[in-house]
């Protein structure tokens, strides 16, 4: 697993990290708590995956000396991540030792193919991955019967050779010349029968032993290849039982892994959008209605984005099951505070303006519709005037904010950081509400020389964001006309 090296205000420490998320900050709740100056309570999150490490940036950091203000970016192995006055470096796993080439072992002393994988102990990481592996605990490492059969077959073949030597001696005593030939033919026929029968059996055992080790190591693709080499119709009953158990485990693990990346994104949203709201804002008892009303909206939107949240395969992940239990607990705890479909009012509008526009990327798309809905719901003239004034103020602020964002995107572009520049404009398209500002952001984005690979990167790695972009008419028209022949993908940020 990757090795994390941390320099926190001159104190150095190193430890290994498994797959998952590691929150970084100065808060006591951070999994990696830093004491160096300039570290915010919730500064960033490290996302460790088999294919590499990414940083979800909440507050500005530096990666390899380059500033990153927000978004999710790759953290190359060995590149320093500066979080305030602390520095974090991730080192890759050490390469496994090379095995001895097969040709270095004499042919008659060659061990059975499964000896290498079967002798290796299952990696601890496979158990921590969260994938179901109940079958792995039941599978022993005892030598297979087929291995003993192969040993007997070799012994029989060796014995046959000695017998033929005796035949040749008998020939000198006057036996007919055809007698030893009959013995040789019979021995060869027996050997062919023995090795053909036991050979197919031992091949299947070898493949299943290899698949067992590969499943324990989490190598699902190679385990699939090993099991695919077996013809189930030629298996003995006990072999077929083992084969079917391995296939069932493999298919379950494959289904689990297929959703793992999506599940990580969904759990990250639970942390940020739901748990973050409760942890930072629910300070009074009872909780304030406008805050609970926002929690209801956030849960509903999250479930709409992740309709597979009840999928039994996903619920096998203990982290996922814990998040689902947490959501159910909040619904029960705050159910009496305010109804989930209560009409919006001035308090709702003011709280959302504070919550979504106070810092970072301003989510006007989550504020302006609530102001409009509250204005249409109220019959109080004073409240309506306050809502109209808030609407006017925020629209003026939105114009100034958008111009600052466009200027920042231009700066990144001129510095050669096209992907980061695109990330700003993508966020603007998703969060601004004034049509002329959204249109301006889309026009700037489509003018990028590398726009096709950038959009392909979003389609592949951030499908939810890409779906939102496709709601924009200009973006959708460009994608339909150009995306199919896009070149090399560029990884999106933000």
The pair of three-digit structure tokens given for residue 9, joined into one six-digit string: 């205000």
Domains of the chain (ranges; CATH) run 3-91 (2.60.200.20), 131-258 (no CATH)
- To 10 degrees, the CA torsion angle through 428, 431, 433, 434? -10
Instruction: Check residue 275 and give its pLDDT.
Output: 94
* Nearest partner of 144 among 198, 200, 206, 194, judged by Cα: 206
Contact by Cβ (8 Å): 171, 179: yes
The pair of three-digit structure tokens given for residue 98, joined into one six-digit string: 């090379």
Contact by Cβ (8 Å): 387, 375: yes
The pair of three-digit structure tokens given for residue 125, joined into one six-digit string: 């990481």
User: Residue ranges of the alpha helices (H) in 378-415?
Assistant: 381-414
Q: Could you please report the per-residue DSSP string of 314-339?
A: HHTSHHHHHHHHHHHHHHHHSTTTS-
Instruction: Check residue 180 and give its pLDDT.
Output: 52
Tally the C-alpha atoms within 13 A of residue 421's C-alpha that lie toward its C-beta: 22
Instruction: Check residue 353 and give its pLDDT.
Output: 97
Give the separation between CA 335 and CA 338, rounded to whole angstroms.
7
Please provide residue 386's backbone torsions phi and psi, each rounded to the nearest 5 degrees: -65, -40
The 8-class DSSP code of residue 234 comes to G
State which H helix or E strand residue 44 sits in: strand 44-49
Give the separation between CA 397 and CA 125, rounded to whole angstroms.
50
The 8-class DSSP code of residue 360 comes to S
Cis peptide before 178 (omega within 30 of 0): no
Residue with tokens 């003018």: 447
pTM: 0.50
Strand pairing report for 11-16 and 3-8 = antiparallel
* Nearest partner of 166 among 183, 154, 149, judged by Cα: 183
| Whole-Å CA distances, 360 to 57, 271, 335 | 11, 17, 31
Instruction: Check residue 469 and give its pLDDT.
Output: 94
Instruction: Check residue 116 and give its pLDDT.
Output: 38
State which H helix or E strand residue 23 sits in: strand 20-25
* Nearest partner of 339 among 348, 351, 352, judged by Cα: 348
Instruction: Check residue 383 and give its pLDDT.
Output: 96
Give the separation between CA 273 and CA 295, rounded to whole angstroms.
9
Q: How many residues are recorded in the chain? A: 494
Contact by Cβ (8 Å): 27, 110: no
Instruction: Check residue 13 and give its pLDDT.
Output: 81
pLDDT tens track of the chain, all 494 residues?
Answer: 678 889 888 888 877 776 778 889 888 778 888 988 889 888 999 888 767 788 988 889 998 888 888 888 888 888 899 998 899 998 876 544 333 333 333 333 333 433 333 333 333 333 333 333 333 333 333 333 334 433 443 344 344 444 444 444 444 444 455 445 545 444 444 444 444 444 456 788 888 988 888 887 777 778 888 898 898 888 888 888 888 888 877 876 665 555 677 788 889 899 989 999 999 999 888 899 999 999 999 999 999 988 888 888 788 888 899 999 999 999 999 999 999 999 999 999 999 999 999 878 999 999 999 999 999 999 999 999 999 999 999 999 999 999 999 999 999 999 988 888 999 999 999 999 999 999 999 999 999 998 998 998 888 878 888 999 999 999 999 999 887 543 344 445 54
State which H helix or E strand residue 455 sits in: helix 451-461
Q: Coil, strand, or helix at residue 126?
A: helix
Instruction: Check residue 38 and give its pLDDT.
Output: 87
């Amino acid at each position: 697993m990757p090795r994390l090296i941390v320099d926190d205000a001159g104190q150095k420490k190193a430890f290994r990290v498994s797959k998952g998320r590691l929150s970084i900050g100065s808060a006591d709740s951070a999994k990696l708590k830093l004491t160096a100056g300039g570290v915010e309570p919730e500064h960033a999150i490290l996302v460790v995956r088999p294919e590499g490490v990414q940083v979800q940036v909440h507050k500005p950091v530096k990666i390899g000396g380059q500033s990153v203000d927000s978004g999710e970016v790759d953290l190359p192995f060995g590149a320093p991540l500066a979080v305030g006055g602390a520095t974090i470096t991730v080192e890759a796993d050490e390469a496994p030792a090379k095995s001895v080439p097969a040709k270095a072992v004499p042919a008659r002393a060659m061990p059975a193919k499964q000896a290498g994988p079967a002798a290796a102990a299952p990696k601890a990481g496979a158990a921590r991955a969260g994938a179901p592996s109940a079958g792995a605990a039941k599978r022993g490492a005892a030598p297979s019967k087929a291995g003993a059969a192969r040993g007997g077959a070799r012994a029989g073949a060796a014995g046959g050779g000695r017998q033929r030597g005796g035949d040749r001696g008998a020939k000198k005593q006057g036996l007919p010349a055809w007698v030893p030939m009959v013995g040789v033919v019979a021995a060869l026929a027996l050997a062919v029968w023995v090795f053909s029968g036991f050979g197919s059996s031992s091949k299947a055992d070898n493949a299943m032993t290899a698949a067992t080790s590969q499943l324990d190591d989490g190598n699902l693709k190679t385990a699939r290849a090993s099991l695919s080499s077996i013809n189930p119709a030629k298996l003995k009953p006990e072999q077929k039982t083992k084969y079917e158990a391995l296939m069932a485990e493999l298919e379950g693990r494959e289904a689990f892994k297929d959703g793992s990346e999506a599940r990580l994104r969904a759990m990250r949203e639970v942390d940020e959008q739901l748990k973050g709201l409760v942890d930072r804002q629910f300070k009074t008892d009872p909780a304030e209605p406008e805050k609970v009303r926002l929690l209801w909206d956030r849960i509903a939107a999250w479930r709409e984005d992740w309709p597979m949240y009840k999928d039994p395969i996903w619920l096998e992940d203990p982290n996922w099951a814990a998040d689902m239990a947490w959501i159910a607990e909040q619904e029960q705890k705050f159910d009496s505070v305010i109804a989930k479909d209560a009409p919006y009012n001035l308090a709702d509008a003011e709280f959302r303006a504070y919550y979504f526009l106070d810092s970072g990327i301003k989510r006007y798309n989550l504020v302006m519709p609530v102001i409009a809905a509250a204005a249409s719901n109220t019959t109080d003239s004073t409240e309506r005037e306050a809502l109209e004034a808030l609407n006017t103020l925020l629209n003026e602020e939105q114009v100034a904010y958008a111009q600052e964002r466009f200027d920042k995107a231009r700066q990144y572009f001129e510095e050669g950081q096209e992907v980061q520049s695109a990330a700003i404009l993508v966020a603007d398209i998703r969060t601004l509400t004034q049509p002329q500002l959204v249109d301006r952001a889309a026009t700037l984005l489509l003018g990028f020389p590398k726009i096709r690979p950038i959009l392909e990167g979003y389609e592949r790695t951030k499908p939810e964001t890409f779906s939102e972009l496709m709601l924009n008419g200009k973006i959708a028209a460009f994608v339909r006309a150009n995306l199919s022949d896009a070149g090399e993908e560029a990884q999106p940020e933000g």
